[in-house]
Structure formats: C-alpha cells, structure tokens
C-alpha cells in the first residue's frame, strides 16, 4: 500500500462522524483505522449483547464512512494476523500505510489513555491526541470548576452547566423558578399504567454475522444473545430517540424512580448505549427534549429531570473520573471485602427484587438507574461486598458500561467507597424503600415488614447491621442522623439479633460455591 498522510484511529466508542479525530480528514490522503481486538473484548467478560452491539455498530460505522468516500482500514476480530491489541494493530497499520502522523480522540478509559501515552515513542511518528468534545464539559474545564473543593456536589455543577448552556434558563433564572424538580420524580407506578417499550431493531445480515461470531467465540460470557434488538446505526438510534421523546419523555419525570415487574424499561430512554458509543450526541439528545418542552409536548419537570441526567450527572461523573483517576478506584471507605454472591450471575435467590433485576440484566444488558442503585448496588453496599468485584460486575453486564461512567456510579454513588467525594451520604435503603417504589415485595417469600427473625427481609437486617458496623464513619454525618436516632431506640437484644442474622445470611450467600463467578473472569 502507498503512504498515507494521516492515520486516523477510531475506537469502538467513538462512532460519531463529528468526532474530533475525523474533523479535518482529507478524503484523498488519509486512512481511518478501526480494529476489533481481543484485549478489548475480554478485559472483562462483557455481556454477549454488549459485544454484538459494539462490533456490529463498528462495522456499520465503517460502512457509512466508506459511503462518504473515506478510506477505512478495518481489522476484523478473525483476521488471522490480528495481534489482539490496539497497540499491536496500530503498529501493523503504521507499517502498512506509512503515515506522517497518527490522529486519535482521547479514550473513555484510563487503561487505554495509558496505552496511548506510549504510542508516539513506540511508533516513532507524531501522535496527536485530541479532546473528546462530544462531552459538554472538557476535562480541563471540570478541573477548573472543581478547584480545590474537598467534596463535589452535582447540584452546583449542574447549575454551572445550565448557566453555561443556557438550557431551560430565563436569563440568569431557571425556567419555572426552580433548578430541580426532583421531588416530583419519585412516584411509584400506579396499577394499570403500562410504559411504552423502546423500539427494538431486528438484526440485519451484519449483526447476524457478529452474533454468530459472539456465540462461537464468547459462549462463556454472561447474558442472553437471542433477544438482541439494540440499534446499531445512527439512523436507528435517531429513531429510538424520536420514539422516546414522543412516547416516554412526557412521563419520564413522574416515574423515574419506580420499579415494576415485567416492565424492564418503564419510561426510561434506554439511550445510554447509543450516547456512550457516539451514535447519538448528548447535545442533540438534550436539545430534542427541550424542543419537546417548548412545543408543549412534554412538561417541564420531565424535561428538566431528563436534561439533568445528561447535562448534570453524565458530565459530572466523567469529570470526577478524570480528575481523580487512577487513585479513585483504590479507596474502600467501609473496608468491604466480602466476595460477590453467585446470584449476581445466576439470579438464583429468594430475594425477588434482586432476582428481577439480575434476570432483566441477563435478558437485556440493561437495567434502569434505580434498579442498579437501590437493588443490586444497595445490596452490595449493605452486605459489604469488595468494591472491585462489584465494579467488575457493573462494567461487564451493561451495554452502556465504560469505566469513565461505570466507576464513579458504582464506586462513588452506589458503594460510597470514595468516602463521600461524590455524594453527601450513602444511598443505603431498607426493604421499605424497595416496597414503596416497586411491586417486588408483594410476591416475595420474605416479609418486607419484618426487621429480624424468620422470613425477615434481608434488606432490613442488612440495613441496620450496615449502620451499626459503620457507625464510627456514618454517625457524625448530619444527613444520617434520622436513621441513627431510630437505631438508638432498638433494644440491645434486638441489635444483637440483627448482627447475628446478618452474619449468618452473608456467610451463606457470599460463600464461594463451585459455580461461583463462572461468567466473570478469564
Ligand atoms: P435515562 O434514565 O433515560 O437517563 C437519560 C440519560 O442520562 C442516560 O441515557 C444517560 O446518558 C444519562 N444518565 C442518567 N443517569 C446517569 C448517571 N448516574 N451517570 C451518567 N449518566 C447518566 N450509566 C452508563 O451510561 N454506563 C454505566 O456503566 C453505568 N453504570 C452504572 C452503575 C451504577 C451502580 C449506577 C447506580 C448507575 C450507572 N449508570 C451507568 C447510570 C445510569 O444508571 C444509566 O446511565 C441509565 O440507567 C441508563 O439508562 P437510560 O438510558 O434509560 O437512562
Ligand atoms: C467495548 C469494546 C469492545 C468489546 N471491543 C472493541 C474493539 O474490538 N475495538 C475497539 O476499538 N473498541 C472496542 N470496545 C470499546 C473500547 O473498549 C473503548 O473504546 C475503550 O474502552 C476506550 O473507552
Ligand atoms: Fe426485596 Fe425484601 Fe422486598 Fe423481598 S421483601 S422483594 S427481598 S425488598
């Protein structure tokens, strides 16, 4: 092959035509390199649907670039010479194309960022790493905003971003006179309300080929593959966005925290996999939601609630990740070391709430936020599961999981393992919370009203045991004063019973069995 001018590397979560690495591309002189590599497919054992989603979307994206006259060098996983890593494939591509320079957009994960830092020296040609300006707040801007604060709070960052973008603002004032309509986002789902299912897309020939490959080469990975129906092109992802804005956004806010058996998506958008790999841009998603409000199609509390997730939370967790890595992943505030119970892989537990969430995760490579936070996350927090094991689980089971977003959500929000950098108190809840927000408890063998004793709901005794075990850390926190006041009314006998039942329960469910973790590690 002749020499090209610039080799432009596009990673599997950079599938946007507007991504910075493609911005000034020359159709005649430049080559785009895309590579399917085992290292990325196996650094955790991703859900089968996540693998199909990423590989199929990559192949479709390469096709769409070629249609625009761009030369794409695409290395498939089954290329016999595939070295299996980004660095190995880039080295081979440089030999093939002899470019004057390499251009790439900064990656989403620290792991890959480390690799990229070494590329220029390894290849002996200039490597330009560009900002990923699909995010609305750059890493440098977030660092400036955070200054030297000891604790960071979403609410202040969110206001900063609202002012910066002017979204839902009247001059310097928030639309509707309030920044946040959170209190209106906490309704359980009334009986008879059925949420619209997000559109599913029948696998085309390319997706079916990838499905065959994944069935064959990744048979031991977690998750169902046959129900695959994710969008794999930008056109399909745009249809999913339209569908959400039309059918679910007008009630998104009301039932944001609700959970319901048999309704896996409720009024959530299920757009995170598309936004995270670049099929949709966060900017256009927010703008479309805000247009729906301006046109009177969706009420303010729903649109504000939705925009807050993307403009607020999504940017906030990304900022924290890059501000604090790599140390961020190392803290373990509650000194939690129990192994992850088997039921996170099998769903085989009598706790109906956990069973529902794990089985939805298996079927869809998706669970909505409250399921992730207040069921599987809450259990791991209360039970004192080793953060690294929990984080690995979250990183592999969801189609939208990349470390920049998974880690702060798991380590910081769900496990409070960062000592409160991200959230002012742990999101710990007893069975009462799950009962209020779902219909799970109605058909559970455990009794959600019982704190201790036979058939007592494990979320209850684990909750109080968690507060007792971590009293030294949590009692001084003013936001925890209510539960400690309640705990102070328990008799010593009841406290001892709670401790004993929690220990017995955890010793049983966290014991590694021969089948334990069989999906998780290579
Ligand atoms: P919606 O409820 O429709 O929200 C709209 C959009 O807002 C989402 O598509 C997403 O882009 C954004 N968003 C909402 N909440 C968050 C949040 N807390 N952090 C970042 N973005 C947010 N999200 C991921 O994208 N990848 C992950 O790996 C991931 N891991 C998580 C792990 C745990 C323990 C928890 C508690 C949350 C995690 N989240 C993660 C955040 C959130 O649960 C998902 O973004 C959301 O469930 C995706 O579904 P949706 O598109 O239907 O979201
Ligand atoms: C998630 C993923 C997978 C499974 N496979 C690939 C791949 O083969 N090639 C690729 O370019 N990207 C893949 N990805 C996405 C990367 O893991 C992601 O780009 C990095 O984690 C950086 O965020
Ligand atoms: Fe979950 Fe407890 Fe309710 Fe059962 S009773 S579904 S274990 S919260």
- pLDDT tens for each residue of 74-113: 999 999 999 999 999 999 999 999 999 999 999 999 999 9
pLDDT score of 502 more than 50: yes
CA–CA distance, 135 with 129 (Å, rounded to integer): 16
Helix (H, G, I), strand (E, B) or coil at 6: strand
Q: Are residues 279 and 398 in the same domain?
A: no
Is the Cβ–Cβ distance between 236 and 247 less than 8 Å?
Answer: no
Please report how many Cα atoms fall inside a 13 Å half-sphere around the Cα of residue 80, on the Cβ side: 0
162 is in which domain, residue-wise?
Answer: 139-203+215-324
Looking at the domain assignment, is residue 299 inside a domain?
yes
Looking at the domain assignment, is residue 495 inside a domain?
yes
Q: How far, in Å, are 28, 36, 323 from residue 110 at the CA level?
A: 33, 19, 11
Q: Encoding tokens for residue 442?
A: 């109605």
Q: Is the CB of 406 under 6 A from ligand 2?
A: no
Q: Is the CB of 4 under 6 A from ligand 1?
A: no
Residue 186: per-residue pLDDT: 75
Instruction: Determine the average pLDDT of the residues in 20-42.
Output: 97
Q: Is the CB of 355 under 6 A from ligand 3?
A: no
Which of 83, 105, 130 is the endpoint of a domain?
Answer: 130
Residue in the structure block whose two tokens are 């251009």:
103
User: Residue 511 CB: number of other CB atoms within 10 A?
Assistant: 12
Q: Are residues 225 and 90 in the same domain?
A: no
Enter the pTM of the model.
0.97
Instruction: Determine the average pLDDT of the residues in 41-49.
Output: 97
Listed range (82-91, 135-144, 145-154, 487-496) with the worst mean pLDDT: 145-154
| Widest distance between CA atoms in the chain | 81
CA–CA distance, 245 with 247 (Å, rounded to integer): 6
Residue 1: per-residue pLDDT: 60
pLDDT score of 520 more than 70: no
Residue 516: per-residue pLDDT: 40
Ligand 3 atom closest to residue 445's alpha carbon, by position in its atom list: 4
Q: Are residues 115 and 161 in the same domain?
A: no
Q: What's the gap in Å between 438 CA and the centre of ligand 3? A: 10
Q: Mean of the per-residue pLDDT values for the chain?
A: 95
Residue 191: per-residue pLDDT: 85
Q: Are residues 153 and 101 in the same domain?
A: no
Instruction: Determine the average pLDDT of the residues in 280-307.
Output: 96
Q: Are residues 90 and 147 in the same domain?
A: no
CA–CA distance, 262 with 62 (Å, rounded to integer): 37
Residue 192: per-residue pLDDT: 85
Residue 512: per-residue pLDDT: 61
Element (H, E) at 44: none
Contacts of residue 349, defined as CB under 8 A and 6 or more positions apart, other chains included, come to: 341, 343, 355, 358, 509
Contacts of residue 198, defined as CB under 8 A and 6 or more positions apart, other chains included, come to: 240, 243, 244, 248, 265, 269, 270
pLDDT score of 234 more than 60: yes
CA–CA distance, 225 with 364 (Å, rounded to integer): 9
Q: Encoding tokens for residue 478?
A: 């003013």
Question: 234-243 and 282-294 are packed helices; what angle lies between their axes, rounded to 10 degrees?
Answer: 30
Percent of the chain whose predicted confidence (pLDDT) is above 70: 98
422 CB-contact burial (10 Å; exposed 0-12 / middle 13-18 / buried 19+): buried
Q: How far, in Å, are 459, 490, 498 from residue 493 at the CA level?
A: 19, 8, 9
Looking at the domain assignment, is residue 336 inside a domain?
no
Q: Are residues 498 and 392 in the same domain?
A: yes
Residue 432 CA: which ligand is closest? Answer: 3
pLDDT score of 515 more than 70: no
Ligand 2 atom closest to residue 112's alpha carbon, by position in its atom list: 22
CATH number, domain containing residue 460: 1.10.579.10
Phi and psi (nearest 5°) for 35? -140, 130
The domain total for the chain is: 3
Residue 513: per-residue pLDDT: 53
**Angle subtended at Cα 136 by Cα 130 and Cα 141, rounded to the nearest 5 degrees:** 70
């Amino acid at each position: 092959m002749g020499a090209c001018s610039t080799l432009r590397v596009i990673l599997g979560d950079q599938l946007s035509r507007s991504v910075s690495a493609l911005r000034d591309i020359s159709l005649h002189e430049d080559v785009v390199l895309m590579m399917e590599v085992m290292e990325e497919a196996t650094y955790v054992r991703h859900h089968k649907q996540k693998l199909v989603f990423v590989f199929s979307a990559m192949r479709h994206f390469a096709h769409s670039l070629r249609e625009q006259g761009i030369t794409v060098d695409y290395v498939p996983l089954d290329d016999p010479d595939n070295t299996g890593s980004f660095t190995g494939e880039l080295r081979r591509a440089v030999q093939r194309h002899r470019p004057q320079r390499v251009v790439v957009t900064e990656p989403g994960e620290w792991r890959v960022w480390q690799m990229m830092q070494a590329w220029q020296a390894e290849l002996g040609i200039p490597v330009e790493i560009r900002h990923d300006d699909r995010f609305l707040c750059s890493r440098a801007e977030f660092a400036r905003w955070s200054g030297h604060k000891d604790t960071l709070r979403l609410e202040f960052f969110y206001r900063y971003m609202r002012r910066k973008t002017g979204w839902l603002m009247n001059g310097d004032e928030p639309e509707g006179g309030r920044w946040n309509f959170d209190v209106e986002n906490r309704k359980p789902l009334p009986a008879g309300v059925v949420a619209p299912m997000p559109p599913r897309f029948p696998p085309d020939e390319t997706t079916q080929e990838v499905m065959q490959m994944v069935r064959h080469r990744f048979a031991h990975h977690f998750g169902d593959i046959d129900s695959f129906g994710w969008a794999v092109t930008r056109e399909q992802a745009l249809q999913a966005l339209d569908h959400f804005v039309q059918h679910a956004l007008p009630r998104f806010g009301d039932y944001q925290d609700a959970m319901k058996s048999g309704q896996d998506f409720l009024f959530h958008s299920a757009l995170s996999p598309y936004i995270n790999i670049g099929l949709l841009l966060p900017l256009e998603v927010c703008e479309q939601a805000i247009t729906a409000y301006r046109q009177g199609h969706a009420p303010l509390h729903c649109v504000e609630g939705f925009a807050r997730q993307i403009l607020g939370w999504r940017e906030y967790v990304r900022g924290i990740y890059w501000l604090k890595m790599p140390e961020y992943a190392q803290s373990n505030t509650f000194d939690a070391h129990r192994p992850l119970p088997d039921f996170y892989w099998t769903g085989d537990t009598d706790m109906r709430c956990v069973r529902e969430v794990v089985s939805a995760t298996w079927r869809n490579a998706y669970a909505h936020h409250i399921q992730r936070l207040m069921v599987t996350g809450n259990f791991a927090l209360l039970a004192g599961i080793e953060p690294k094991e929990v984080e690995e689980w979250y990183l592999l089971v969801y189609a939208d999981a990349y470390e920049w977003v998974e880690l702060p959500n798991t380590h910081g929000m769900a496990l409070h393992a960062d000592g409160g950098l991200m959230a002012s108190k742990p999101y710990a809840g007893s069975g009462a919370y799950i009962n209020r927000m779902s219909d799970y408890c109605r058909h559970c063998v455990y009794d959600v009203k019982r704190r201790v004793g036979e058939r007592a709901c494990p979320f209850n005794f684990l909750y109080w045991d968690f507060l007792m075990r971590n009293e030294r850390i949590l009692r001084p926190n003013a936001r925890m004063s209510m539960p400690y006041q309640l705990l102070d009314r328990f008799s010593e006998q009841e406290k001892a019973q709670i401790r004993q039942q929690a220990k017995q329960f955890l010793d049983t469910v966290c014991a590694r069995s021969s089948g334990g973790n069989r999906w998780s590690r290579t």
